[in-house]
Amino acid sequence: MVNRVTELLGVDVPIVQAPMGWIARSQLMSGVQMGTRMVSSAESPVHANWKDAIVAAADTGTVFLNRHSKPGLRALRTERTSRLERQDHVDLAEMAGFHQLYFGGDMEAAIPLSGQVAGRIESVEPVASIIESCPLARGLGHAAGAWGTSPRSGSRATSRSGGSRWPGRRS
């Protein structure tokens, strides 16, 4: 897919736009990352409590964990994450209850990862509706079938001294 960014960079690889808040600039991109939006879709297998928490989230309804260490994590604001937000380092053992969170609906069992966009999601909708409402999908003239290309072999970036820095660079 060629777009303004790929032309400017001289690359032949998809450019994926994230986070959701920048989708309005989609004329520059080949794809979008919609993790939180898809977690809150009708077809998502996560528990309804998590979907409802995303829909109910205010613009300030997420926290950023591990602000001064790695990995940085964005999560829905819960009692657990509000407590963890004050810590310099959050141990990934805090994710141990993910199964109870994802499928049991216990919002305090683990860290409910979410993008900042949670505060902008107003309803649980079918994936087809979400994709059809995406400016990028409209700009391409089709939705789900837009991503049917297979990865190119040999498209990895190499070291600065070992060749092209950009995967798929056109000469």
Question: CB–CB of 105/67 below 8 Å?
Answer: no
* pLDDT, average across residues 141-145: 42
Question: CB–CB of 145/128 below 8 Å?
Answer: no
- Examine residue 147 and state whether it is found in any structural domain, yes or no: no
Q: What is the pTM of this model?
A: 0.66
Are residues 2 and 48 located together in one domain of the fold? no
Nearest to 120 by CA among 43, 34, 45: 34
Are residues 103 and 136 located together in one domain of the fold? no
Domain assignment of residue 51, given as a range: 43-124
Are residues 84 and 56 located together in one domain of the fold? yes
Q: How far is CA 111 from CA 34, 62, 66, in A?
A: 19, 11, 12
- Examine residue 117 and state whether it is found in any structural domain, yes or no: yes
- Examine residue 155 and state whether it is found in any structural domain, yes or no: no
Per-residue pLDDT at 136: 61
- Examine residue 106 and state whether it is found in any structural domain, yes or no: yes
Are residues 49 and 24 located together in one domain of the fold? no
Q: Percent of the chain, pLDDT > 90?
A: 47
Tokens matching residue 79: 């009692």
Question: How many structural domains does the chain have?
Answer: 2
* pLDDT, average across residues 36-42: 93
- Examine residue 151 and state whether it is found in any structural domain, yes or no: no
Average pLDDT, rounded, for the chain? 75
Nearest to 136 by CA among 7, 33, 13: 33
Are residues 85 and 129 located together in one domain of the fold? no
Per-residue pLDDT at 48: 97
Q: How far is CA 5 from CA 39, 118, 124, in A?
A: 28, 27, 32
pLDDT in tens, 55-114: 999 999 999 999 888 899 999 999 999 999 999 999 999 999 999 999 999 999 999 999
